Chain A
Amino acid sequence: MWLSDGTVAHLRAVADMPDSAGTRYRILEPVGRGGMGVVYRAEDAALDREVALKVLRTPEVQPDLAARMLDEARILARLEHPGIVPVYDAGTLPDGRVYCAMKLVRGRRLDEIVTPDTPLTERLRIFRRVCEPVAFAHAHGVVHRDLKPANIMVGEFGEVLVMDWGVAKQPARADTPHGSPAHTATAGTLHGTRLGTPGWMAPEQERGDVDAMDARTDVYALGRILRFLLDIGRAAPRPLRAICERALSSDPATRYDDAEQLGRDVDRYLAGAAVDAYRERVWERAARLYARHRTAVLLVLSYLLMRILFIAFG
């Protein structure tokens, strides 16, 4: 039988649509596509709200991803933070595909929202908001391992969310059976496995050195993101470049220990204080202090000028 081009396209989409019959979700439309599967906008009939339904490809096609996605759901369920997309539900659809229901984030990716016209302070504030959920994850022993601008969403109200924790690593829990998929996907990732995105991976990630991957691996990726944000505009000030260089150090021992430390150094820069990563020269320190306390300095100088004038003409 003859199928027109339009019918062919429709049948291809139909074949890929998940079957949500019998579940509380009604699939509306695809909104994104990743390596693991497709994300759909769906209606949650039980709570009368829209959700993002991430559905894996059929298990015939990629059987190993189901365990990884369920691991991602478990990690997200334990990390409750405004900057981490909350997960509501996970399970298996009638057609055998694994799904995960999450908050539907309406916004734009970081690399789409930041332009050369975005002021430096605004770019740094966005970066600071990226560090917060990552720092929270680090405090709970979770490493993201795939931080990049494409995985950071900025919502319509300026909220920043870190997405796609699919390759996150967490320490194996004591009750996780050794050799189980959950164990393997966490502390037991195979040595030599390269998880992450080329161009954003730390050197230890490139090598597949799983044992060396920790919070500092994310710090490296955050350094890349910071450099990306700085390179968009004019040449960045030396303290910021120094923060970048420290985060991007090939030796993890010389990087910041975690996202919290990195974020605090950026905070210091924003507050006009000295940053840990950069040793100021005397004149640079004087210039910074002047910039930070400009009004007070000018008032005192005015007072002294008045005194001098009194002496000269009094």
Chain B
Amino acid sequence: MNKAVLGMIIGGVLGIFDGLSALVSAPETRPMITGIVIGSTFKGIIAGLLIGWFARKVDSLAAGIVFGLAVGLLLAFLVAAMPSATGEHYYWEIMLPGAFVGIIVGYATQRYGRPATGRAHPGLS
């Protein structure tokens, strides 16, 4: 399995988990749970695709984790920036899990998955 596909799968699975966890952490969101799960899953897949693509290009565990963290935080921020039905912003509750997802996908795509040929290594021209 190549790294991009691996990233999408892990990101998607964690996205589903993230979405479903709203049922427990924020029961008032139950009526909108379908949309939440779909949105969260989509976010995870996009994050996984981007991070997996990066892993195909750059062979560095540290760089992969940092990139994953950045992508996870960014996508989570874009979601958290949208106000809820009550007008509140849940930055902490959305961005922290988003960061974790980015780190996990970043580590997994660097460590596992079939690499592309001829990718660059930091420090090499």
Contacts and interface: CB of A to CB of B under 8 A. Distances in A.
Interface string B13-31: 0100100010011100000
Chain B: interface secondary structure?
Answer: helix
A300 B104 CA distance: 7
A306 B108 contact: no
B104 A303 contact: yes
Nearest to A310: B25
Interface string A285-312: 0000000000110011011001100110
Given A296-B107, A296-B108, A299-B107, A311 B25 contact: yes
Contacts of B108: 296
B96 interface: yes
Nearest to B26: A314
Contact of A302 (B17, B26, B100, B111): B100
B100 A306 contact: yes
B104 A310 contact: no
Contact of A299 (B25, B97, B104): B104
Given A310-B93, A314-B93, A303 B100 contact: yes
Given A311-B25, A314-B25, A306 B97 contact: yes
Contacts of B101: 303
Interface in B89-125: 93, 96-97, 100-101, 103-104, 107-108, 111
Nearest to B106: A299
Contacts of A307: 17, 21, 25, 97
B93 A299 contact: no
Nearest to B96: A306
Contacts of B96: 306
Chain A: interface secondary structure?
Answer: helix
A314 B27 CA distance: 12
B107 A295 contact: yes
Contact of A311 (B17, B24, B107): B24
A302 B26 CA distance: 21
A138 to B, nearest CB: 31
Interface in B46-88: none
B53 to A, nearest CB: 20
Contacts of A306: 96-97, 100
Nearest to A307: B21
Contacts of A299: 100, 103-104, 107
Contacts of A296: 104, 107-108, 111
A299 B104 CA distance: 6
Contacts of A295: 107, 111
A134 to B, nearest CB: 32
A185 to B, nearest CB: 48
Nearest to A293: B111
Contacts of A314: 25-26, 93
A299 B21 CA distance: 18
A226 B101 CA distance: 44
A303 B24 contact: no
A314 to B, nearest CB: 5
Nearest to A302: B100
Contacts of B111: 295-296
A295 to B, nearest CB: 7
B108 to A, nearest CB: 6
A284 B96 CA distance: 34
A299 B107 CA distance: 9
Closest A-B pairs by Cβ, 5 of them:
A303-B100, A314-B25, A299-B104, A311-B24, A310-B25
6 contacts: A303-B14, A303-B101, A306-B96, A306-B97, A306-B100, A311-B21
Interface of B: 14, 17, 21, 24-26, 93, 96-97, 100-101, 103-104, 107-108, 111
Given A307-B17, A307-B97, 12 more contacts: A295-B107, A295-B111, A296-B108, A299-B100, A299-B103, A299-B104, A300-B104, A303-B97, A303-B100, A306-B96, A311-B21, A311-B24
